[in-house]
Chain A
Amino acid sequence: MKSLGIVSPQSMHFSEPLALQSGASLSDYTLVYETYGTLHADRSNAVLVCHALNASHHVAGEYVDEEGSKKILGWWDNMVGPGKPLDTDRFFVIGINNLGSCFGSTGPMHTNPATGKPYGAHFPVVTVEDWVRAQARLADALGIAQFAAVMGGSLGGMQALAWSIIYPDRLRHCVVIASTPKLSAQNIAFNDVARQAILTDPEFHGGDFYAHNAVPKNGLRVARMVGHITYLSNDDMAEKFGRELRSGKYQFDFGIDFEIESYLRYQGDKFSEYFDANTYLLITKALDYFDPAQAFGGDLTKALANTKAQFLLASFKTDWRFSPERSREIVQALVNNKRKVTYAEIDAPHGHDAFLLDDVRYLNVVRAYFERVWSEGAGA
């Protein structure tokens, strides 16, 4: 299938302070974003795609790296592009890098204007709602009063849901995939293990490791290894790795015996090369804090009462990180409010990661949904 080809990011600076949920504020900030497709003159065909934990504004298309050869594909290139389920021949698609990230938008490694030094650990804790408010300012600047749809998977799905609550008039459709209305105690526990790995790494230096020319790689590795376990299903891991041994027999030491160890360590090593430890702390906190029902006494039906969008939700049966039950809670709250909602529960074997993979049942539902979005408004 066709891809978008080579794409490149843009950035926009905002000098009006952004008040954050914590009470802190960012005096000024930059958002990095990418767009694909063409915005109609009436600006009716814009779709915002929100990213998850370790992703960025680079949703689709490819980057060519410094050597001009190796191609870096967008994280949802199988979903977004010409002729793909979210068809960039029809829709104007925007990916925005969130605040606190390490992929270009203002984050912990950038200079704090108040001190002249990198923010480091002093970058304010941001929430899903803070991200959404920042995204809305970028939408304002692009002249987009209402999105045809806001879409995301996992943490990105939380942002889409938050859009429907905070700005009910600014989106016609809300697409929430493999997400949850709030983290469970188990989810938070895994996040805290990851944070502890980073916080207790001697190279972390209280978050100011940039000044020490250090990187808390061990902490990041362990954080990623723990996270990665939660992205895969037990069956998928058993199928891919089982108890396969790296060199055919036990080594009777603490190196790598099993293939799964080799795989996780490789994932951890790779991640620690490019991801920022402060960003990891910030994003896991944003995950932990998300709970739109909290302000309504835990009543999600009430939290979603003011939404106006139509919804598509999808979950995956083997996803134990954000299981189908969690998506069904959102569907139930929407049904209680008599909102239009389509819910697909896909019997895919790949756990949480399934939302990024090619499952024809999943992609067909999203495709059919965007056909509908197109025929109902954006394409009319």
Chain B
Amino acid sequence: MNFKELSALRADLAFIAHWVRRDTHVLDLGCGDGAMLDYLQSDKRCIGYGVEIDDDKIPACTARGVSVIQQDLEAGLAMFADNAFDTVLCLSALQMMKNVEEILRDIARVGREAIVSFPNFAYWPHRLALLRGRMPVSKSLPYEWYDTPNLRCATIKDFEALANQVGLEVLECVALRDGNLVSFLPNWRGSLAVFRLKKK
């Protein structure tokens, strides 16, 4: 997969891919159909593994030639050795986890750097929905309160505090909307929070 194809498929992944260095060893937690690793392998000569729980996504990764390990992230990353990866990706997956703190500590253990993204609950349409007395439903949070897989609601400001607590230093933090960088009032105008982190 080349950059144009990735951009068309998932603009947010295309933005994040800039942060992954060439020829590095990558772990993608909650890798879905493997699009990101497919791109990183073919365009940036990275090698790595995806971790995914969904039965339907395993053949999709396989078809792309992406090494995928079927596993529940809640079970932890015991499969992987300390500092085994240059970069650990955890993209739009963290908000679905019960044990967020534990997985972040494990990410800090197996990776030198990490990139974590999640829907920004402080995105202004979400704030507006709450002011109107309703739980937000948007393109980035496309579920009703009773059927959402998202267990955790966090804002950009919230995450920074937790990252420090689990041994990760924030190198960069941006907000994206539709895959584009939002520089003015990011915690209001960005629907996706993206953090680049380093082991402390």
Contact = CB atoms under 8 A, between A and B. Distances in A.
Given A335-B49, A361-B55, A342 B67 contact: yes
- Size bin of chain B's contact surface: 20 to 34
Interface stretch (A114-122, A201-209, A365-373): A365-373
Interface in B18-69: 25, 47, 49, 55, 58-63, 65, 67-69
B63 A343 contact: no
Contacts of A343: 68-71
A332 to B, nearest CB: 5
A336 interface: yes
Q: Is the interface of B mostly helix, strand, loop or mixed?
A: mixed
A368 B67 contact: no
Q: Is the interface of A mostly helix, strand, loop or mixed?
A: helix
Interface in A276-334: 312, 328, 331-332
The residue among A312, A335, A369, A371 with the most chain B CB atoms within 10 A of its own CB is A335
A107 B110 CA distance: 50
B82 to A, nearest CB: 11
B49 to A, nearest CB: 7
- Size bin of chain A's contact surface: 20 to 34
A358 B114 CA distance: 40
A345 B49 contact: no
A342 B55 contact: no
A338 B85 CA distance: 11
Contacts of A361: 55, 58
Interface in A340-360: 340-347
Given A332-B79, A338-B25, A361-B55, A344 B63 contact: no
The residue among B61, B63, B70 with the most chain A CB atoms within 10 A of its own CB is B70
Contacts of B69: 331, 335, 341-343
A331 B58 contact: no
A344 B57 CA distance: 10
Contacts of A244: none
A287 to B, nearest CB: 26
A368 B59 contact: yes
A345 B62 CA distance: 14
B127 to A, nearest CB: 40
Contacts of A368: 58-60, 62-63
Nearest to A375: B65
B81 interface: yes
Contacts of A367: 59
Contacts of B68: 342-343
List the 5 closest A-B pairs by CB distance, nearest first: A368-B59, A368-B62, A361-B55, A343-B69, A364-B59
Interface of A: 312, 328, 331-332, 335-336, 338, 340-347, 361, 364-365, 367-369, 371-372, 376
14 contacts: A335-B80, A338-B47, A341-B49, A341-B67, A342-B68, A343-B68, A343-B70, A343-B71, A344-B58, A347-B55, A364-B59, A365-B59, A368-B59, A368-B62
Given A369-B62, A372-B62, 11 more contacts: A331-B79, A335-B79, A336-B81, A338-B47, A341-B67, A342-B61, A346-B55, A361-B58, A364-B58, A368-B58, A371-B63
